[in-house]
Structure 1
Amino acid sequence: MSHPLRRVTDLSLDATTVTALRSALRATADEVVQAIIDEVPPYANALSGRMGGTIRRAVRTALGHYLDLASGNATGGDGGDAAYELGRGEVRAGRSMDALLGAYRVGARVAWRCLAAGAVPAGLPATEVAKFAELTFAYIDELSAASAAGHADELAARGRDQERHLEHLARDLLAGATPDVLLASVQRAGWQPPHTLTAVLLPAAQARPAYRALDPGTLVLDDLPDGVGVLLVPDADRPRLLRQLTDRTAVVGPPRPWKRASASYARAVRARSLSADIRDTEEHLPELVLSADVDAFADLCARALAPLRTLPAATARRLEETLRAWLLHQGRRDEVAAALFVHPQTVRYRMSQLRELFPDLASPHRVLELTLAVGLRAG
């Protein structure tokens, strides 16, 4: 990408002045680098060894290109491209643009002092020295702008790459990928695994707005089938999470170890298919257990309650209602009567009927089957 430097002046140095300045380039570059090391803390240890040599050569190249500009022998494109790449490289090195701008300011001051010290003895008139100063600092401004553009573009590219890697990680988690695959995805995404992840299902349009209010380590997908979005929230404080989602149509799964986030997602999906009214799956565990295998539950109900099917429908409903209350209140007759709004003697009569229909009503296995069969039925 080209970032051409503007010619900001008509200054054209004579050959004698340029020769004098070029002879001092190496010393000037060394002085610029040393000043940056001394005055810009992020570069204190970054300009030593091989990296220091590279930077010194880059500074000499920039200064040489600057002299080409000042003498009218260059267009400026190479300097802008180099500065742009330098900005990108600072992102890779983990440094902010503030550090690089600080280095440019220090470099401009030192370079101007050194170059002016060479230009004046070479006979550059005072009026041209002023233009020379203008060109020096305008050149640094152009380099700074090119580096800032490179820094911003690299950050944006890295942000897009990381977002893709995070989305890929979220898909691997929902798919229940193997630990090796998950760890590889984690490394690519630069994501810090939490202890647990909690899956939240909500309309796709609400996914990213909700995500912005949650832990920054939350993973988000908003392109699942049927217009559904999912959030995978790390180490969630459940009451707080539910409060944050109060105004959203959300289903919150259980917390699970992060490698088993697919289990939290699967439960949220099942809860959503079971009822539109479920928000916190932890409050609906019986329904979720009994809906895990709908056919098995239907078969259990049919077998366990088969004796009632021999009775008239109204009688069967009354006895099933009584059986449910008797099981849920553990056979305490007065409590059963209160729950049914009938007299305790009515409960005794109905229970005698039920014992005839279910001779093994005292069997733990029979009690378990009947409890499951009638516990969640409407009758």
Structure 2
Amino acid sequence: MTWRRYVEISGHSNTPPAQMYALAEALFAYADELVGHAVQGYVAEQERTMSAAQRHRESLLSALTGAVAPSRRTVVDLAHTAGWPLPDSVQAVALTPARRPAHSGTPLPPGQHVLGDDEGLHPYWILPDPKREDLLALEQVAKGRRVAVGPPVPPHEAGLSLRSARQLLDLAERGLVAGAPVLQCADHLPKLLLTRDDTIVHALVERHLTPLQGLTARQRERCVETLTAWLQHRGSPLEMAQALHIHPQTVRYRLRQIAKQFGPALHDPDLRFELEIALRAHKMLNGGQDRPPAAQRRR
């Protein structure tokens, strides 16, 4: 429009063509400069907006996965600021690191508004209101990575779910938990409870299995399997014999030896409870798998 007006004026004033060409060049150069500044302003605003959105999302993730659970009000406010629709519940997913960088095409799990960090040393996702089919699809989405799914919790307790998922993933990596590539905390609650604090577990085992320290490895194995059977079958020699594949008389002999080693502790309900926990922890920490009964091999 501006250039058209200049042409009309020049027609009435007999402006030389050379001057018109110079004017046109100046006009177009000015227009190009204006467009350039407009583009720069748009890009800067986009970067500012994206940077603010990223900061809000990082603040939300930091609160959700921190060592101290935030208040529900805090999560509501942070979720609103970050534009994250607050779900009724979340489940945390811990994963082994990807074999290739996440930016090379690793897909996010199914569902919308998934939070997480897939590029760090300890990748994780926060799934809002996951459906059963979403969890079943994790194996395909993870593409060969080991996955542990935490229990469902309210959003402000997402950190608890994530810590449980990471604990289960660690047990799987140590060979203490076996199963499918996608592990559910709900399927391994006793082991999670027993390994919540390794120091306490080892102290419990050491305290209650001290009478076995003077025995040979073979004798300890027999004593552990006999004690376990005794607790599981309420001291019934016949049921223990069937479980251990030995003669009832052999069971009675072993029980007499155990009674000499453990004394009155076997008759205290509280101590028997702690002893069973110690036996289960001992079994798990030494491979987690049932060994064939020694007596069965002797038959």
TM-score by length of 1: 0.56
Question: Which of 159, 170, 178 is 1:262 aligned to?
Answer: 159
> Structure 1 residues 210, 362: CA separation in 2 closer, same or farther (over 3 Å shift)?
farther
The Cα shift of 1:343 comes to: 2.2
Question: Which of 11, 28, 31 is 1:77 aligned to?
Answer: 31
Contact 1:167 1:220 in 2 (8 A): no
- Letter matched to residue 296 of structure 1: I
Give the structure with higher Rg (CA): 1
Question: Which of 183, 193, 214 is 1:289 aligned to?
Answer: 193
Percent identical among aligned pairs is 30
Per-residue CA deviations over 1:318-373 (Å, capped at 9, x if unaligned) read 11211112223443444432332222332232223323333342321021111101
Question: Which of 12, 20, 25 is 2:7 aligned to?
Answer: 12
SS in 2 for 1:228: coil
Contact 2:90 2:158 in 1 (8 A): yes
Q: CA RMSD in A?
A: 3.9
**Partners in 1 of 2:220 and 2:77 — Cα distance?**
59
Per-residue CA deviations over 1:263-306 (Å, capped at 9, x if unaligned) read 11111222233331553222222222111222222221122122
The Cα shift of 1:160 comes to: 5.2
* Equivalence for 1:345: 249
Matched, 1:233 2:127: yes
Alignment of 1:27-66 (within 5 A): none
Alignment of 1:1-379 (within 5 A): 12-13=7-8, 75=28, 77=31, 158-159=49-50, 161-175=52-66, 176=68, 178-179=70-71, 181-205=74-98, 212-224=108-120, 227-238=121-132, 240-246=134-140, 247-276=144-173, 278=177, 279-356=183-260, 357-378=262-283
- Between Structure 1 and Structure 2, how many residues are aligned? 255
The Cα shift of 1:258 comes to: 0.5
- Letter matched to residue 218 of structure 1: V
Per-residue CA deviations over 1:78-109 (Å, capped at 9, x if unaligned) read 9976xx6xxxxxxxxxxxxxxxxxxxxxxxxx
Contact 1:305 1:373 in 2 (8 A): yes
Contact 1:199 1:230 in 2 (8 A): yes
**Partners in 2 of 1:331 and 1:240 — Cα distance?**
46
Contact 1:167 1:221 in 2 (8 A): no
- Letter matched to residue 114 of structure 2: T
Contact 1:319 1:350 in 2 (8 A): yes
Per-residue CA deviations over 1:170-203 (Å, capped at 9, x if unaligned) read 1221114532543442222111111222111224
**Partners in 2 of 1:327 and 1:257 — Cα distance?**
38
TM-score by length of 2: 0.69
The Cα shift of 1:12 comes to: 3.2
SS in 2 for 1:256: coil
**Partners in 2 of 1:163 and 1:214 — Cα distance?**
21
- Flag structure 1 segments of 5+ consecutive residues without an equivalent: 16-71, 85-145
**Partners in 1 of 2:78 and 2:278 — Cα distance?**
44
SS in 1 for 2:213: helix
